[in-house]
Chain A
Amino acid sequence: MAKILKMVTQRLALGFLTLFVVSMIIFLGVELLPGDFAQEILGQSATPETVAAFRRELGLDLPWYTRYFDWLGGVVQGDFGKSLASRRDVSDLIGGRLLNTLFLAAVAAAISVPVAMILGVLAALYRNTLFDRTINVFTLTSISFPDFFVAYILILFLAVNWNIFPSISNVSSDLGFWEHVYRVILPALTLTLVIVAHMMRMTRAAIINLLASPYIEMAMLKGISRSRIVTHHALPNALAPIINVIVINLAFLVVGVVVVEVVFVYPGLGQLLVDSVAKRDIPVVQASCLIFAATYILLNLTADVLSILTNPRLLHPK
């Protein structure tokens, strides 16, 4: 266990270093964007003098490195600055949105991960049968459609025709937990259909890959049933690659859901990011990007730790 703690600490430290580099890349990247916030706000008719005065007021006339380190100093203390557009604190603006995004991601993960793993195990168990082929065709079809298309199909059937779920996921903080879940079911289902194929196929492939191992043959010659061979002998050894793919998909659930949020008018982080880019609201863009980067780093760290926990060679050294 001490070894794992040491590794986690090391990786966290490395993660912070990565975040620092990412923050610089984000800042420079945003800097390179064409267009100017002051010009955007004041409109085409503003005189150059007005624009310059407004820029000075916002601090946009200072060199980039001064602004970068000012910003970074604030971030370290938890202050992401003020939104240029609304003059509100970025952390206030983002806080609720982030919770909404994480909530949707959690609901989608709670549905899709078990479904993908169970389907993957079943497909491996009954491989090359009609069942296996049907699952493959279905999941591959759902991943092949664009997510907004899947979303509209679901709305058509589940909201419009049968009226089971709401088509617009307007949520607020005073909603109860189950009411919240109820309202995000359609976006969560859409996301599930989009990501389940990837995880399910990895589970199937990782298990099938191991079915040729000598210890699987040994299990067969011990008279163990097929289902137990797959779940008890193959699956535990296949977990590391499966976990990695799951984590990539979880990260997608947090950072890649813009389109789905827009379709369901869900107040998440993705929508905020898109709006802010359009408005050249740079502090919000930077903060959102930083959160996305941190999500990737944390989830990958989790994957590594889980991979170690599932590998007896690493967990119980000689």
Chain B
Amino acid sequence: MTSNGGNNGEVLLEMRGLRIEGQSEDQWNEIVHGIDLTLRRGEVLGLIGESGAGKSTIGIASMGFARPGCRISGGSIVFDGMDLRAASDEQLRKLRGSRIAYVAQSAAAAFNPAHKLIDQYSEAPVQHGVKRKGEAEKEAMELYRRLRLPDPENIGFRYPHQVSGGQLQRAMTAMAMACRPDLIVFDEPTTALDVTTQIEVLAAIKDVVEEFNTAAIYITHDLAVVAQMADRIMVLRYGDLVEEDNARDMLANPKEDYTRQLLAVRTYRKEEAPPDESPVPLLEVRNVTASYGGRVIVLDDVSVKVGRGRTVAVVGESGSGKSTLARVITGLLPPSEGAVLFDGEELPATYKKRSRDQLRHAQMIYQMPDTALNPRQRIRDIIGRPVSFYLGLKGADREKRIRELLEMIEMDPDEFIDRLPGELSGGQKQRICIARALAAEPELIICDEVTSALDQLVAEEILKLLQRLQDDLGVTYLFITHDLATVRAISDEVVVMLEGRVVEQGGKADIFTPPHDPYTDLLLSSVPEMDPDWLDNLLADRAARKARGEKVMETSDQ
């Protein structure tokens, strides 16, 4: 973003020694340890860090707000000459929505399901007495048009559930703009979106923030995204500042190790596995068509082959049918046509008719380790169950095997075997899920978005672990993901899916080297890069190609 604020504008927001405490079991623990933050008019400040860094907590503290279970315990917050810590509730209420606005991560959850978009837009201006309803509605339509929402005159009269995720996120940005605030806090506004949709939202946000010269705090865990948006970046970790610098300088010349790690996060590449020499592939999905309830077809004539010891990545956006493919393979959803072959032998369509051995051969790891583990079971029982169910081990043999598995996933058996899932971190829980899948000694493991819910550095460790297990045990992976960086890191072969069909498939090198299928091209070009000019260049390039009359594929979430 152009530095129209830079270092010489008037100071809008100043935090000094900000401390915030969070409550856990009747005890207050400090989660933000004395942060200094200065924001000038029109400036965009990026807050970046992994979960637990305190970035979101700091972001909403700029509105004098602390979430339930948190409290601002020290330091000062001064907004445009007003001390927010000394301000009354009523003074803060008048400030919020009118001079400082907030854009939440999940627009689908942050819009009230009971009211139309445009009513929610005009609520703040009307309640703050800034504008009358009719006037606010007219402005809403104008902003909807600016944010390139389809049918701007009428989209506001829809309810939130009638509008797609990317559109909602833009409608929320419009809502934040309603009173023309001096400052907007963007709290991970694109994290829940597909990459191709993310571009549209990023471009729209950037556009209006520049247009109205609004200052912004842009919170994200993705350095490549913040590089497009921010003039200045603060890197946070565990509630402390790691590094703060001008965006371009930080990307070109990071000073701290942690920043360097974040910058390097998507550079991991595995070595290609040897090709499968045997005549029949380990898994073959042959012309599968499937639907939910017989109406909407989710998979349309899909064929995929997975060779022994290889990693095949299935990549696509939400609604592409990639998770449904996993459900068909595991027998949770019998296909209406086609078949699933394992080692050349056709599997019964439903898991209920598969033998224990057929079930054992294909195991699954899920996206959310939190919900995939029974919170009331200890690690010993979680891993021990498949050990005794599939392999029939009991007593000391079972215990020995559980310990071996824990060592395989690089977790100390003595320390972890008696713990409950609640006592583990997200990455550790996902390791336990991997161990549970390995316990069945499967030949194929289906990984469904296994790194999507994890922080980037943790995700990379999980990918490395999966790779080491493949090298040691020769297990085959079907790796379902929406994240092309993950595909690039771990796959041997790639299957690109769109709206239930396979668009393109082949070796990783083939897929990532042009010429592509138009959709693959759209997908690949939409992945943010660390270059601060990437978004501007990409949009200029797409516009130029359109101007030359070339067909440019765009996201269906327009």
Taking Cβ atoms with an 8 Å cutoff, the residues of A that contact B are 212-215, 217-225, 228, 233, 236-237, 310, 312-313, 316, 318
Contact = CB atoms under 8 A, between A and B. Distances in A.
B358 interface: no
A217 B67 contact: yes
Contacts of A312: 113-114, 159, 161
Nearest to B100: A221
Interface string B491-519: 00000000000000000000000000000
Contact of B109 (A215, A221, A236, A313): A215
B109 A316 contact: no
A213 B104 CA distance: 12
Contacts of B60: 221
B98 interface: yes
Contact of A214 (B94, B110, B114, B128): B110
Interface of A is mostly: helix
A220 B113 contact: no
Contacts of B93: 223-225
B97 A224 contact: yes
Contacts of B158: 316
A313 B113 contact: yes
A220 B65 contact: yes
B372 to A, nearest CB: 24
Interface in B430-476: none
CB-based closest 8 A-B pairs: A223-B97, A222-B97, A223-B96, A236-B114, A214-B109, A221-B102, A218-B110, A215-B112
Nearest to A218: B110
Contacts of B162: 316, 318
Nearest to A224: B127
Given A223-B98, A318-B162, A218 B104 contact: yes
A27 B110 CA distance: 54
Contacts of B114: 233, 236-237, 310, 312
Contacts of B104: 214, 217-218
A222 B101 contact: yes
B159 A224 contact: no
B169 to A, nearest CB: 13
B63 A221 contact: yes
A224 B124 contact: yes
A223 B109 contact: no
Contacts of B98: 223
Contacts of A212: 68
Interface string B118-136: 0000011001100000000
Contacts of A224: 93, 97, 123-124, 127
B106 interface: yes
Contacts of B106: 214
B112 A223 contact: no
B111 interface: yes
A222 B106 CA distance: 16
Interface residues of B toward A: which range? 20 to 34
A224 B115 CA distance: 15
A220 B63 CA distance: 11
Given A312-B161, A316-B159, A221 B127 contact: no
Interface string B141-164: 000000000000000001101100
A225 B161 contact: no
A218 B65 CA distance: 11
B202 interface: no
B223 to A, nearest CB: 26
Nearest to A317: B162
A236 B102 CA distance: 23
A92 B63 CA distance: 70
Interface in B153-180: 158-159, 161-162, 175
A202 to B, nearest CB: 18
Contact of A318 (B65, B94, B101, B161): B161
Nearest to A222: B97
A218 B162 CA distance: 20
Contacts of B113: 215, 237, 312-313
A225 B90 CA distance: 9
A214 B93 CA distance: 17
A272 to B, nearest CB: 44
Given A223-B93, A236-B114, A318-B162, A213 B109 contact: yes
Interface in B66-107: 67-68, 92-98, 101-102, 104, 106
Contacts of B94: 223
A214 B102 CA distance: 12
A212 B109 CA distance: 11
B97 A221 contact: yes
9 contacts: A212-B68, A218-B102, A220-B65, A221-B96, A223-B94, A225-B93, A233-B114, A310-B114, A318-B162
Contacts of B124: 222-224
A219 B123 CA distance: 9
A220 B127 CA distance: 12
A233 B123 CA distance: 11
| Most chain B C-beta atoms within 10 Å of own C-beta, residue among A215, A219, A220, A222 | A222
A313 B128 CA distance: 29
Interface string B332-362: 0000000000000000000000000000000
A113 to B, nearest CB: 21
Interface in B28-80: 60, 63, 65, 67-68
Contacts of B109: 213-215
Nearest to B89: A226
Contacts of B115: 236
B159 A313 contact: yes
B276 to A, nearest CB: 44
Nearest to B172: A218
Contacts of B97: 221-224
Interface string B386-407: 0000000000000000000000
